[in-house]
Structure 1
């Protein structure tokens, strides 16, 4: 467990995160004993959950994911169960109380971002279209995310006018929606991996439900690096290939990106400024 990961946990969860980190060695030992696991290593790019490569008593190579137990991690478990099937990582076991998931290990596990940009859209949409998009009362509504725009943390990026616009577009999406379905909530280049047996597979759902347009947004903004031409290309291609309303997709993108900028500010993320520049561009395009 690297230093940067610990700092992110403390910044995001405060005292609760610090306590979780203190108890983590014991938690890991309990989980490994319970499921007969041996830890072999961990990836370098930990985000807000601990991930380890493990082997079980049958010598299977698996992935152990441990997060802070509670509402968000429980929803990830629910979503992982809901999405089981073709094109999604296999779930072997889980424990809500301990906050952990035992998943298949995808080999070689190459991320979508490692593929040439002109090939990414078709791979992404192939995975996207495999999802079980049924309605579920067990998953929270993505509209809860927009609570971040009510009395947002003080910042030098998002203006009151931008927040008003985001809430207006959120309302428009809600009023024109054809209904709520399962959403991955975070389907982007790092959450689509290549497996030599299954092809491209999705991992790490947030576990929400809502209008289907919202599930395109994470991919739109990921790996942009300020390239607005690339953003426009993605918007046009997704709209065309999925038969979507372009203006509606832009409005959904503006609404959700405003939330993500506020989150980035709250977490002290360096990307907040770049994200807000993209947001300003999009607002000027509608």
Structure 2
């Protein structure tokens, strides 16, 4: 029996591709001033991209803050993503860096319009995410080994440290995982102190920034790929911590993080410190 791709949002045959209701709601809550124009113009912009690549939209994918659509062309399947996020260009630059390292899909184009940023990427096949799948750390390790000691080409990218510092200090953010509540002030203060101790020595290194199970896709030959980066520079040890914590397992997160760190070849104590911060920041 064929495996169903959990990222697909089936669209009725012949139906017009629309921005999903959950994306509409999330974008409106996060960027109320930018959302109206984006919601109005993004479907027309999609039509323009389809015309440019001589393709047709097939279906939408599950996403939180982006309009993500599969396009069928005569040559290949593409995945296009539009977001009104002011950090959209930063996200696109990190996505390109991940492709250059062999851990992300090919980026064909980045299109910036007055209301959004579009990335045009090759479709990963089969493209299932690891969400809900138990995966051994031995399978995750090759991704992060490829990311070791890789500097960003753009030294003006926002930093992971700054993003986490802001998140630990601001309970008003509406970007909270479903079903979660903010950490206590004591937990956040402790995490903030650890964050400062880690310093900014890796602030110009390539970092995905959100290596959770839904952003890790299975490709040909069971190879894994990272998609939908946060658009920051930082420390791959943070990615190791988040991947260990946010991929399904029966292992304790700290044990799993230490095991993955050893396989990747990074400092286990540093990964454990990032794990404490990530949990307190409710990433």
- TM-score normalised by structure 2 residue count: 0.78
Is 1:73 the counterpart of 2:88 in the alignment? yes
Is 1:167 the counterpart of 2:162 in the alignment? no
Check the 8 A contact 2:131/2:248 in 1, yes or no.
no
- Can you give the 5+ residue segments of structure 1 that lack an aligned partner in the other structure? 262-286
* Secondary structure at the counterpart of residue 146 of structure 2: coil
CA–CA distance in structure 2, aligned partners of residues 11 and 205 of structure 1: 21
Check the 8 A contact 2:131/2:214 in 1, yes or no.
yes
CA–CA distance in structure 2, aligned partners of residues 256 and 232 of structure 1: 12
Is 1:241 the counterpart of 2:263 in the alignment? yes
Counterpart residue number, 1:194: 218
* Secondary structure at the counterpart of residue 124 of structure 1: helix
Counterpart residue number, 2:124: 106
Is 1:256 the counterpart of 2:256 in the alignment? no
- Offset of residue 113 of structure 1: 3.7
- Can you give the 5+ residue segments of structure 2 that lack an aligned partner in the other structure? 1-18, 174-179
- Offset of residue 142 of structure 1: 0.9
Check the 8 A contact 2:131/2:247 in 1, yes or no.
yes
Counterpart residue number, 2:176: none
- Report the more deviating stretch, 216-225 or 137-146: 216-225
CA–CA distance in structure 2, aligned partners of residues 101 and 198 of structure 1: 24
What is the number of equivalent residue pairs in this alignment?
253
Structure 1 pair 27/10, CA: closer, same or farther in 2 (3 Å)? same
Is 1:52 the counterpart of 2:62 in the alignment? no
Counterpart residue number, 1:269: none
Superimposed CA distance per residue, residues 215-244 of structure 1 (whole angstroms, 9 cap, x where no aligned partner): 22321332459x6x4324312312332344
Is 1:150 the counterpart of 2:172 in the alignment? no
CA–CA distance in structure 2, aligned partners of residues 114 and 260 of structure 1: 19
- Offset of residue 96 of structure 1: 2.5
- TM-score normalised by structure 1 residue count: 0.77
Superimposed CA distance per residue, residues 186-238 of structure 1 (whole angstroms, 9 cap, x where no aligned partner): 1222222222268322222222212332122321332459x6x4324312312
- Offset of residue 21 of structure 1: 1.2
- Offset of residue 63 of structure 1: 0.9
Please tell me the root mean square deviation across aligned C-alpha atoms, in Å: 2.7
Counterpart residue number, 1:280: none
Check the 8 A contact 1:79/1:205 in 2, yes or no.
yes
Check the 8 A contact 1:127/1:201 in 2, yes or no.
yes
Structure 1 pair 245/111, CA: closer, same or farther in 2 (3 Å)? same
* Secondary structure at the counterpart of residue 162 of structure 1: helix
- Offset of residue 179 of structure 1: 6.5
Counterpart residue number, 2:51: 33
Structure 1 pair 82/133, CA: closer, same or farther in 2 (3 Å)? farther
